[in-house]
Amino acid sequence: MKILAIETSTMLGGVAVMDSESGLIAEVRLNVKTTHSERLMAVVDHALTQSDLGINDMDVFAVAAGPGSFTGLRIGLSTAKGLCHATGRPLVTVPTLEAFAWSFPYSCHPVCLMLDARKAEVYAAVFRWNGSGFDTLLEECSMRPDDLLGGLNETVIFAGEGALLYRNKIEQKMGERAVFAPPEKMVPSPATATMLGLSKALKSEFADPAGVVPRYIRKSEAEVKWKEKQEKS
């Protein structure tokens, strides 16, 4: 099974192509200083050309559905829907932060992923590797960095644009317990979105292109539970 995935949750967007038998075939990233819509299809075409494949060679399309940049998510999803419509192939959606976590398999520390949600908040989730996958310690939500950091009581790996934006605050609060990912792993990866999308496709976990919408995350029950945990610790 061949899959093409689109990741436009942040300003560093990209596309990846993967085969269930041969693995990752191509990954193209670009720093989008204009808009995703002006460059995304060119990146799709480039990834396929470098893979020596055509759009009709894809068996399924995947898209990182958020949370993240509202504009980026809308453009990524509309592009994926258009590809599905043009080829008749199915669509799978991938939670951005869950896919992001797969940049850190086998980590001995929890991974805290933070994207800028504006308004002094971050989109965040915390995961722990269990030997074969990730357990979710904090479900994806939107919250203030101080509230997020208050519930972290051990050494944690931080990644994402939000981790860079609030690095000083994290270091002040966490001290040596804060470990920051290297630059190449500070952003969501199209390759991990492709991998998670392929896993869902092989289980026939397809989305309805006509009805699917971006995952716009704001304050949720997850934040309430996180605050309760913080107060008890």
The 3-state secondary structure of 146-196 reads HHHHHCCCCCEEEECHHHHHCHHHHHHHHHHHEEECCHHHCCCCHHHHHHH
Q: What is the pLDDT along the chain (233 residues), one digit of tens a residue?
A: 999 999 999 888 899 999 999 999 999 988 765 555 667 888 999 999 999 999 999 999 999 999 998 888 988 999 999 999 999 999 999 999 999 999 999 999 999 999 999 889 999 999 999 999 999 999 999 999 999 999 999 999 999 999 999 999 999 999 999 999 999 999 999 999 999 999 999 999 999 998 999 988 765 455 556 666 666 66
> Rounded to 5 degrees, what angle do the CA atoms 109, 114, 120 make?
135
Distance CA 63, CA 140 (A): 17
- Which 8-state DSSP code applies to residue 204? T
Which domains can be identified in the chain, with CATH numbers?
A: 2-96+188-202 (3.30.420.40), 98-186+221-232 (3.30.420.40)
**Is the Cβ–Cβ distance between 36 and 123 less than 8 Å?**
no
Distance CA 91, CA 88 (A): 10
Residue 124, token pair as written in the block: 């965040």
pTM here?
A: 0.88
What is the gyration radius of the CA atoms in the chain, in angstroms? Answer: 18
Residue partners of 159: CB distance under 8 A and separation at least 6? 100, 103, 104, 111, 112, 113, 114, 180, 181, 185, 186
Residue 112, token pair as written in the block: 């805290």
Tell me whether strands 178-180 and 91-95 are parallel, antiparallel or unpaired.
unpaired
Residue partners of 110: CB distance under 8 A and separation at least 6? 126, 127, 128, 137, 152, 154, 156, 157
Location of structure tokens 């086998």? 106
